Chain A
């Protein structure tokens, strides 16, 4: 399968006077449609790596390729479009806009690109609501939902633009074990149905074990890369 994400000789150094290097010569490829997890202790550099893949952060040196196109040299505008069209983000915190309802939040990435929502996209939003089991609360404001519901809304939101890549940073970090299980089922289901590439950071060994590939990051280096 073709590489959809490719990191080449990535180094990341924070700070000007006191320099802290968090990533050392990372070389990593992800296959399109794969379901991957990244594990590692906190401070190991895994989140930084994910943010660099997601173009939210820039590497100090090295090259980043998404679908074969180099991204670390693009300007802010181009990166914004790229993120909008090819990536979905799920964070530990849901980051929903509390002023909007669940469905409006889900449609937000589409509206960023085109304010007018056509019928098929509206129906797709309904389908996603059903997929994450939120049809009943679709008109609730973000703050009028439980933590699990909020996180599932965030997942649906990440999917609305049918991105090729979903980047998830501890997506179940704030959820109880039942909700966690539920969320992973959904993610896996999406991966199988839509062939979306997943890169998931997790602390949970049991979750990691269910993925196709486990990458362990230790002290800014790839410590282990295990493919099933």
Chain B
């Protein structure tokens, strides 16, 4: 076995041009695979973040006729104990109202939160482009589109008419832009107490919202939450059930990314295999005499398996380096006007390691054909034709 290894090493060293060519072939394959894989992963994480990162991933909503949850403190407690993966719990008091301004009346959605908690889910503070979050009762923030339409500025008072006819004046403490125009146009965000007052629901809430550590586990976490909850007349929803199209889109993307990666690897595998097979023919004289001198078929084939292994390792190392280079240059040169990368790339160490291991396995698999040729080579053929 050690002889096979040392012969393999000499063969690779003496055929430098060929060796470099194969290593380059493998490393380009690994680099492309790594690059595409990381890019698609980055794209997906980015997409998931922008789509559901700033929204509740699991919600508890009432199913009773009043559409309110009375014992919401218990709901919060039970959600907390049902799973460690639940984070950013917040209650909300939501309801329709009208915004009465100089020229018109617009329907709006009153959304009341314990603002500290709601902020963790929706990122209100980050979205504020003017003013600050409400800190007292009867204060609110409104979105960019609504503010522009109604010509409202920070510190203005606005008139909100509740569905039951009551009117309340709220002081606008800030203007936000959550990058979703339907939210910017309709949400009037205030603290829980204010919203409860406007909507006339007393101390009750209309929903409990939360996020989870592993967004793709939301359905399972929601299931266990539903099991834990002892409240009557509530249901638990999760983003996965509500966003089937997004999920199938993401799946499609994953599958096509995997397909591309597999074909890149197959191309690499065929390339190595053919070059190594040629090298068996090139070295048939050496193999023939080794066999005449008594080298076993197994060792004769191991020579090529070792070559595959060494080429695979070299190719994987170089390929990963090259792949990182590509990723770095992509994030450096493909940028948005504000300097952030078009697609933020996430380096997944497991994926990098997997790429390397796949390259090595592919190279070794590719060496099986030449190994077989070498094993089957009959010394008499070589010596007769020598």
Contact = CB atoms under 8 A, between A and B. Distances in A.
B290 A112 contact: yes
B383 interface: yes
B292 interface: yes
B296 A91 contact: no
A47 B294 CA distance: 19
Interface in B275-293: 285-286, 288-293
Contact of B383 (A56, A83, A85): A56
B57 to A, nearest CB: 61
A51 B383 contact: yes
Contacts of B288: 95
Interface stretch (A65-73, A74-82, A127-135, A200-208): A74-82
A89 B293 CA distance: 8
B14 A99 contact: yes
Given A56-B380, A91-B383, A97-B286, A80 B294 contact: yes
A89 B14 contact: no
Category for how many chain B residues contact A = 20 to 34
A59 to B, nearest CB: 13
Nearest to A143: B14
B116 interface: no
B13 interface: yes
B386 interface: yes
Q: Majority SS of interface residues in chain B? A: helix
A56 B290 contact: no
Given A97-B286, A99-B13, A108 B383 contact: no
Interface residues of A, number: 30
A85 B294 contact: yes
A109 B293 contact: yes
Contacts of B291: 80
A93 interface: yes
Interface string A88-129: 010111011111100000001101110100000000000000
Contacts, number: 73
Contacts of B379: 56
B149 interface: no
A52 to B, nearest CB: 10
A57 interface: yes
Nearest to A116: B2
Nearest to B379: A56
B169 interface: no
Contacts of B3: 111-112, 115
A115 B291 CA distance: 16
Given A98-B14, A99-B11, A112 B383 contact: no
Contacts of A89: 289, 292-293
A60 to B, nearest CB: 14
B10 interface: yes
Contact of A112 (B10, B286, B295, B380): B295
A113 B386 contact: no
A44 interface: no
Interface string B6-35: 110011011000000000000000000000
Interface of A: 47, 51, 54, 56-57, 76-77, 80-85, 89, 91-93, 95-100, 108-109, 111-113, 115, 157
